[in-house]
Amino acid sequence: MPELTPSLPASAVPAPSRPGEALRWALFRALERLSDLRGNNTLGAFSLAPADARGPALWFYVTTIGELNAVAPMIEWLTAQRPDLRPVLITEHAHYREAYLARLPQAVVCISRGHSSDARRLARMLPPAMLALAEIPCLPSEAPCRFSYAFLREARRCGAATLMLNGWLYHYDPPARLDQLERRLLERDFLGAFDVLCVQDAETARALEARGAPRDRLQVTGNMKFDAMRRADWRVEQATRSPRLLGDLLATDRPVIVGGCVTELAEQHQVLGAFERLRRTHPRALLILAPRHPENLERMTALLAQLGEAGLVVARRSQLADGALAPQVQCLVLDTVGELRDFYAAASVAHVGVDHNVLEPLGLNKPLTIRGGWDTTYPSYPVYRLLRDRGVLHECDDEATMCDYWLAAIDHAPRIAEDLRRTEEALASMRGSVARHQAACAAWIRR
C-alpha cells in the first residue's frame, strides 16, 4: 500500500501552533468553565491506577480493549523503543482497567472524560515525552468516545512527539453542545497538533487534509488490525486469566461454538436456535456466549432470561474459578472483559456479532459465521468490507444455514478447509501495516 507522502526525516522538528490558537483555546476554556457551572459531566472523573505513579511518560489514548488489541504491536514497539518512559493508557471506561493492566502490567491507567483540568493534572504527574492516539477519534468528538484537544495541547506544551495510529473516520456528529463548539473552534488545531498522522486508507487521508491536516504529515499505512490479530502461534500459557479452563476445553472432544459480541436480542435468538439444532446431532456441544458490555445489567438480565427460556444449563465465567468446566454446563456466558480473544482459541467454530471484530477468530484460523447488515460507521466495518469483497466471510441470516455451517466445521468438511485457505490468503495480502507505522513514526521516537 503506497504512502501518501514520504516519511518524515529524522531531523524533523514540531510545527508551530496555528495563528490565533491561544485565543481560540482561551475562548473554549471560558465555555468549558461555564459548562462546569451548569454541571459538566466530564468534570470529576479523573483517576489513576496506581494512584502514586509519577515520572516521564508515554501517553496512549485507547478508549476500549478493542483499540488496545488493535494497536498492541505498536504499543509494544513504542514502549520497547522508550523503556525510560512509563506507559499511560487513557480511557473514559473504568471497567476496562483490569483488562488493560492484564495486557500491559507496567502501565498506568488514567480514567478521564476529557476535561482540560484532567489533562493538566496528568501532565503534572506523568509528563509525556510522547503521545499516541490509538485509531479513534481522528477529529474532536468524532466517535462514541472523547479524546479532547486539551490532552494534545498539554502534550505539545511538554514537548512530546504526537502520533496518530491506524486513523479512521466515524463520521459522527459531536453529541453535546460543548463538543460541537470544540470541533468548530479547534478542529484544525487538533489536526495540526500531530507530528504524524497514520491513517488506514487514502480516502481518510484526503478527508483529513480537506479539514486541515498538513499534507506532509499524513501517511497511508493500512489497517494494523490485520497484523495485530494474527495469532497462529497462540499457546494456552498466554491466556492471562483462564489458562486452566481453556486448557481443559482444548483437551476435550466437545464441539465448542464461541459467539463473540453477540448483543442484540434478535441475533442472540438466532444463535440459540442454531445451537438447539446443532445439539440434535452433537448433544455434548458447548456454547460460549460473550455479550458486548457485560457491565450493562439490563442487557445481561435479558440474555440470562433468554438462556433460561431455551432450557440450557448455564454458567457465568465471573462466578467460576479457573478450572475445568462442569460437563453438564451447556452454555458458558463470558461476562468478563478482555478474555474473548483467548476463548476463540477453544472454538470448533466461531460466530461474531454484527459490527464487531472478525479478525480475532480468523487470526486463530477458526471457521467463522456472521450475519449481514453491518453499520458503515463502526470501526469494524473497513475490515468487514475488505473481507466481504474478497468473498471470504460466510454470512448466515437464519438458524438453518448457520447450523449447517457449524456442522461442516465440526465435521471437518473439505469446504471448510478451502474456506480457511482462501481466508488466510486474503489476510496475508493485507498485512504489513505495523512495519509501515514503524517507518512513519521512527523519526519521532527520540526527538
Pick the closest to residue 275 from 261, 293, 289 (CA basis).
289
Q: For residues 380 and 154, which has the higher predicted lDDT (pLDDT)?
A: 154
Q: Does residue 391 sit in the same domain as residue 309?
A: yes
CA pair distance 39, 174, nearest whole angstrom: 18
The pLDDT score that the predictor gives to residue 376 is 85
Phi, psi of 302 (to 5 degrees): -65, -40
Q: Does residue 413 sit in the same domain as residue 440?
A: no
pLDDT band per the 50, 70, 90 thresholds, residue 322: very high
In this structure, is residue 16 part of a structural domain?
no
Share of the chain above pLDDT 70, in %: 96
37-59 pLDDT, tens digit per residue, is 999 989 999 999 999 999 999 99
The pLDDT score that the predictor gives to residue 233 is 82
- Residue 387: pLDDT over 50: yes
Which of 30-34, 305-309, 377-381 has maximum average pLDDT? 30-34
Mean pLDDT over residues 66-88, rounded? 94
The pLDDT score that the predictor gives to residue 90 is 96
Q: Does residue 202 sit in the same domain as residue 277?
A: no
10-35 pLDDT, tens digit per residue, is 334 555 578 899 999 999 999 999 99
HSE (CB half, 13 Å, CA atoms) of 82? Answer: 24
In this structure, is residue 6 part of a structural domain?
no
The pLDDT score that the predictor gives to residue 8 is 40
In this structure, is residue 12 part of a structural domain?
no
Range of the domain at 296: 236-429
Residue 21 bears catalytic tag: no
pLDDT band per the 50, 70, 90 thresholds, residue 7: very low
- What's the CATH number where 177 sits? 3.40.50.11720
pLDDT band per the 50, 70, 90 thresholds, residue 447: low
- Residue 2: pLDDT over 70: no
Phi, psi of 119 (to 5 degrees): -65, -45
The pLDDT score that the predictor gives to residue 16 is 57
Average pLDDT value over all residues in the chain? 91
Q: Does residue 208 sit in the same domain as residue 284?
A: no
The pLDDT score that the predictor gives to residue 4 is 43
CA pair distance 61, 68, nearest whole angstrom: 9
pLDDT band per the 50, 70, 90 thresholds, residue 296: confident
Q: Does residue 293 sit in the same domain as residue 199?
A: no
In this structure, is residue 36 part of a structural domain?
yes
Q: Does residue 301 sit in the same domain as residue 379?
A: yes
Q: Does residue 249 sit in the same domain as residue 309?
A: yes
Q: Does residue 173 sit in the same domain as residue 274?
A: no
The pLDDT score that the predictor gives to residue 14 is 52
CA pair distance 248, 238, nearest whole angstrom: 15
pLDDT band per the 50, 70, 90 thresholds, residue 112: very high
Q: Does residue 156 sit in the same domain as residue 67?
A: yes
Q: Which segment of 6-15, 119-128, 332-341, 382-391 scores lowest on mean pLDDT?
A: 6-15
3-state secondary structure the chain: CCCCCCCCCCCCCCCCCCCCHHHHHHHHHHHHHHHHHCCCCCCCCCEEECCCCCCCEEEEECCCHHHHHHCHHHHHHHHHHCCCCEEEEEECCHHHHHHHHHHCCCCEEEECCCCHHHHHHHHHHCCEEEEEEECCCCCCCCECECCCHHHHHHHHHCCCEEEEEEECCCCCCCCCHHHHHHHHHHHHHHHHCCCEEEECCHHHHHHHHHCCCCHHHEEECCCCHHHHCCCCCCCHHHCCCCHHHHHHHHHCCCCEEEEECCCCHHHHHHHHHHHHHHHHHCCCCEEEEECCCCCCHHHHHHHHHHHHHCCCCEEEHHHCCCCCCCCCCCEEECCCCCCHHHHHHHCCEEEECCCCCCHHHHCCCCCEEECCCCCCCCCCHHHHHHHHHCCCCCECCCHHHHHHHHHHHHCCCHHHHHHHHHHHHHHHHCCCHHHHHHHHHHHHCCC
- Residue 426: pLDDT over 90: yes
Mean pLDDT over residues 380-403, rounded? 93
Q: How many domains does the chain have?
A: 2
Q: Does residue 28 sit in the same domain as residue 119?
A: yes
Mean pLDDT over residues 300-324, rounded? 93
Q: Does residue 401 sit in the same domain as residue 340?
A: yes
In this structure, is residue 7 part of a structural domain?
no
Pick the closest to residue 43 from 59, 32, 30, 27 (CA basis).
32
Phi, psi of 155 (to 5 degrees): -60, -45
The pLDDT score that the predictor gives to residue 171 is 84
- Global pTM? 0.86
Mean pLDDT over residues 269-279, rounded? 96
Q: Does residue 171 sit in the same domain as residue 112?
A: yes
Structural Rg of the chain based on CA atoms: 23
- What's the CATH number where 317 sits? 3.40.50.2000
In this structure, is residue 269 part of a structural domain?
yes
In this structure, is residue 203 part of a structural domain?
yes
The pLDDT score that the predictor gives to residue 260 is 95
Phi, psi of 85 (to 5 degrees): -110, 140
Mean pLDDT over residues 74-98, rounded? 94
The one catalytic residue in 21, 32, 67, 142 is 67
